Amino acid sequence: MLRVYGVWFLTSLRYLLSVRDIMMAMLHHCSIPLARVAVRPSPRTRAAISFATASSPRATPQSQVLLGLSENDLQKLAIDFGQQGFRGKQLYHLIYKRKVRDIQEFVQVPLAFRNELEEAGWKVGRSPIFNKVVATDGTIKLLLKLEDNRLIETVGIPVEDDKGSVRLTACVSSQVGCPLRCSFCATGKGGFSRNLRSHEIVEQVLAIEEVFKRRVSNVVFMGMGEPMLNLKAVLEAHHCLNKDIQIGQRMMTISTVGVPNTIKKLASHKLQSTLAVSLHAPNQKLRETIVPSAKSYPLDALMKDCKEYFQETNRRVSFEYALLAGINDSVDNAVELAKLLHEYGSGYHVNLIPFNPIEGSEFRRPYRKAVQAFVNALESAKITTSVRQTRGLDANAACGQLRNNFQKNPLVTDSDNLESQLPNMDLAVTS
C-alpha cells in the first residue's frame, strides 16, 4: 500500500513540476506579458480607480463632480475613459468658459463619452436656482437648492463707480447655516446643517454670473456660515475661483469671526486675498455678549494671531465692526477700539457696518449721527475707517440678514407641498 501511494505522489509531483516549467517558459519566451493578457477594466472602472487613488485634493472621487477639477484633472479623466487628452480640454472650456450646467449639453463631446460619464456617476455639479429676490438697488439674492434639498443663499451686488464702470461682487456662503450663533446675525438663528463642498461654493459665483449676464469681479466669503470652520473646502474653492474662473486673489476676501488656530493655517498659504475679522467689540467682556464663541478664543489671542498674520503675509487685516445702537457704538467704544488696534500694530482698517434689522432681534440700528461720531473718533486716532454701504435691505439681502427655513431641515420635495412652503420662507442674505 505504501508503495502505491509513493508512486502516486511522485507522479503528481512530476506533473506539477512540468506545469511550472511550461509557465516559466511562457513568461520567458512569450512576446506579450501575461499581465497584459488579463481582462482590462472598462473605462468607467478605470476612471473610478484612477480618481480614487489621485493625490490631488481637488480630484477626490467621492463627489464625482466635474466643477472644481483643474484642466490637468479633466484631461486625466478623459484619458481614463479611453478618450484622447484634448477631450479634457474641451470639458474644461465647457465648464469654466461656457458655464454649461449639464453633461448632456456638452454637444462638442461625443455622445458615447457623455453617456459613460453619466453612467459612472459624474455630473457637472451645478445646483438649480430655487428662488430669486431683486432689491430696488439692483442687488439680487439667489437661493440655490442643493442635492440634499437644503437651501443656501448667495448675493450679487453691482456697484457703479464714478467712471461709470460696474463692479459685481458675489457674496458666497461656506456652510448651510452657521453654528456660531452671533447674537446680531440671522444665519445663526436659523440653525446649522453641514459644511458646503468646494464646488457648492464655486457654483454660487457661476450662478451670480448667469443671472447678471456679466463676470463677477469680486468675491467675499461673507455669506452663510463661518469660513474658517470649513477651511479646506474654502481654500479649494478659492484656488478654483482664482485659477479656473480667473478672479484675482486680491479681489477676494475671506471673513471670520475668529476660530482658534485657523488664522495661522490661513497665513501659511500666503494668499494675496484680504482677511476680514469680525471684531464687533473693543474688549473681551463686551465681545462675549455679542459673539458667544469669543469665550473660547480670547480677544488678546485673536489680535496676536492677526498681528502674526500681517507679519507673515504682509497683507493688512480688515476688521469688521457691526454697530449696535446703545451696545457698542459710543465714542468711548471707538477710542477703546483704536487703542486696541494700536497695541497690536499699525495699518489696520476698520469697516463699520450699521446693524441691519432682523426678525426677533432686540438690537437697533444706530442713528447716522452716532455712526459719524464713531468714524470721527477712529480717524482722529489715525485708524483708516469706512462705513459699509447698505445694499439689498428691502430684499433681506443686507449684511447679517442671511437666513432661510431650510438650513437645518431639508426642503420637502413633494410638489403638492412646495408652493405652500414658499410664502412662509424667511428669505435673507449677508453681503
**Catalytic residue ranges:** 153, 399
The three cell numbers of residue 299 are: 480677544
Output helix, strand, coil percentages for the chain, rounded to the nearest 5.
45, 15, 40
CA 173 vs CA 32, 47, 154, 183: distances in Å:
55, 31, 6, 19
Residues 6 or more apart whose CB falls under 8 angstroms from that of 313 comprise 267, 270, 271
- As a whole number of angstroms, the distance between CA 23 and CA 32 comes to 13
β-partners of residue 79 are none
Residue 317 backbone phi and psi in degrees, to 5: -95, 135
* Spatial strand order in the sheet of 252-256: 129-134, 140-145, 151-160, 166-171, 218-221, 252-256, 274-278, 317-323, 349-354, 384-387
Length of the chain: 431
Q: Are 333 and 366 in contact (CB under 8 A)?
A: no
Which of these, 143, 151, 173, 187, lies nearest to 403 by C-alpha position?
Answer: 187
